[in-house]
Amino acid sequence: MSSSSSKQNHYRFSVDVDGIALADESVTAIDEALKKAAIMAIATLDLRGRELTFSPIMQGMIRPNGDDNGDEPPVGGAQISIRSVGGGSENQPVMSRDTAVFRTKLAGSKARGVAAIRVSRVGDDICLDQLGPRGQETGGFVLHLDIEGSKDKRTLKAINVTRKASKPTGSPLAKAEREDLASIVDELSQFQQEDHSDGSETIASIWGAISAGIHCGLAAVEGGANLLEDAECAIAAGEVLADSEDDDD
């Protein structure tokens, strides 16, 4: 791999492959892998108080199948810029119908090394993940909606919150788990209260999941076992269920 630079600190990297015939799809796959590897390598650099922004390839990596409107994913090489942190430079949240990713704002989360929160709908469950500075999962919980009945007439049987990779036990969370979940609930509440002038507030599905994460998470933090007994949790989870039924129509 070779590189060159100018006074403007412009770098270009290339890889030469000789003596072997590659199919077009192999060339494309290798090219995309190199772009992603470059982005990951740059993202791990110590930027000394500056942050990276990516366009348009990062958006394509987040939504490889296109956006919610059916538009094709962005094309073209990686365009990477570096800007100072502060003064309104924080990354905007990434919102879709089933996923929301946003930066943490509270000191307690940052002290735990949590850089972002991700909320996602996976089947009938809602995942609440804590992400580190490089986007890696550092912890998380799953809000399980235990649903019974036929497709056109489903009802909530129970609601449980468990640590990821754990099975529902019907018992309250342990103290350390409640503390971790409380920090996520605080971030979700903070995010919900912010002004979202970019139009993301119209994505009803993921906002319903965020609301359920807040109310059911709070009920679990307070020691609840069957969260269906908590009125606000039951209402928020019921709205998520109703939204899922609308998706099936």
**For residue 119, what pLDDT is reported?**
93
Alpha-carbon span 171 to 179, nearest angstrom:
16
Choice among 8-17, 70-79, 88-97, 126-135 with the minimum mean pLDDT: 70-79
> Which secondary-structure segment (H or E) carries 155?
strand 153-163
All residues at 6 or more sequence positions from 218 whose CB lies less than 8 Å from its CB, including other chains: 185, 232, 233
Residues 183-209: tens digit of each pLDDT: 999 999 999 988 775 555 556 678 999
Mean pLDDT rounded to a whole number for the chain: 75
**pTM, entire model:** 0.61
Q: How far apart are CA 130 and CA 132, in angstroms?
A: 7
Tally of CA atoms within 13 A in the half-sphere of 202 that contains its CB: 4
Share of the chain above pLDDT 70, in %: 64
What is the distance between the alpha carbons of residues 197 and 193, in angstroms, rounded to a whole number? 12
